[in-house]
Amino acid sequence: MEAIRRVASRIVVLPERDIDTDQIIPARYLKTTGSKGLGQWLFTDWRRDANGRPRPGFPLDDPRAGGASILVAGSNFGCGSSREHAPWALFDAGFRAVVSSSIADIFRANAAKNGLVPVVVPVDLHEAMLAAPFSFATVDLESMTVALESGKTGSFSLDRFARHCLMNGLDELGFLIEQQPLIGAWEAACER
């Protein structure tokens, strides 16, 4: 995983609340045994009509969204299934941060493990971002702040361990592997 200290780009806004993982990537695209190339199916049923043609006006396909790496979504983003395909698809489509006033537990954990920063911001900052699609924003993991083009800034919350892993490009598995002797001792104590 690449180390990530700062994400700076235009923001794409999907203001809907409770966006579930079936919208992020529908189940019919989960039949893969890999994790790459899923970006093409990101929000596909919202993006394309019944004939597969792009729906005009969908924010992700707006020319101003080109190169955007920050998604701002309504509250309780990522609810529903545990599919890691959801953060894989977002990452593959170029996103490096997802901002909301609340992010569902499993999605938040999955995102952080895949170089996609789950950024939980206070309600006022969230509303300011929802109201400023395609404006410029910076998410800074060093200072744990979000800065908007308008000059508004605010802090965000992120688990310290997740932040450490993201900023140093570390994989949680490495940490767990180091715990193996402890795990072995624990197992032995339980099974005695």
Partner 1 sequence: MKPRTLFEKVWDAHVVRPETDEAPAVLYADLHLVHEVTSPQAFSMLREKGLRVRRPDRTLATMDHSIPTVRKNGRFEISDDEGRTQLDALAKNCADFGIELHALGTEGQGIVHVIGPEMGATHPGSTIVCGDSHTATHGAFGALAFGIGTSEVGHVLATQCLLQRKPKTLEVRVDGWLKPYVSAKDVILAVISKIGVGGGSGHVIEFTGSAIRALSMEARMTVCNMAIEAGARAGMIAPDGTTYDYLIGRPRAPKREAWEHALRGWLRLPSDEGAAYDKSVTIDGSALEPMITFGTNPGMSIPIRGEVPDPERVEGEQARAGLAKALRYMGLQGGKKLLGHPVDVVFIGSCTNSRIEDLRAAASVLRGRKVAAGVRTLVVPGSQQVKREAEEEGLHHVFIESGAEWREPGCSMCIAMNGDIVAPGQIAVSTSNRNFEGRQGKGSRTLLASPLTAAAAAVAGRVADPRELGS
Q: How far apart are CA 115 and CA 159, in angstroms?
A: 14
- For partner 1, the closer of residues 48 and 136 by Cβ is 48
In the complex, minimum distance from the CB of residue 66 to partner 1, in angstroms, rounded to a whole number: 26
Which residues on neighbouring strands pair with residue 98, listed in sequence order? 71, 118
Which residues on neighbouring strands pair with residue 51, listed in sequence order? none
- For partner 1, the closer of residues 66 and 123 by Cβ is 123
In the complex, minimum distance from the CB of residue 55 to partner 1, in angstroms, rounded to a whole number: 13
b/e 48-72 (16+ beta carbons within 10 angstroms → b): eeeeeeeeeeebbeeeebeebbbbb
Host H or E run for residue 11: strand 6-14
- For partner 1, the closer of residues 9 and 41 by Cβ is 41
- For partner 1, the closer of residues 17 and 147 by Cβ is 17
In the complex, minimum distance from the CB of residue 137 to partner 1, in angstroms, rounded to a whole number: 21
CB 114 within 8 A of CB 90: no
- For partner 1, the closer of residues 9 and 42 by Cβ is 42
Q: Taking each helix axis from N to C terminus, what angle separates 85-92 and 105-112, rounded to the nearest 10 degrees?
A: 50
In the complex, minimum distance from the CB of residue 138 to partner 1, in angstroms, rounded to a whole number: 26
Residues that bind partner 1 (CB under 8 A): 15-18, 20, 22-23, 26-28, 30-35, 45, 50, 74-76, 79-84, 102, 104-106, 109-110, 113-114, 159-161, 164, 172-173, 175-177, 179-180, 182-183, 186-187
In the complex, minimum distance from the CB of residue 67 to partner 1, in angstroms, rounded to a whole number: 27
Which residues on neighbouring strands pair with residue 147, listed in sequence order? 138, 153
In the chain the first and final C-alpha atoms are separated, in Å, by 39
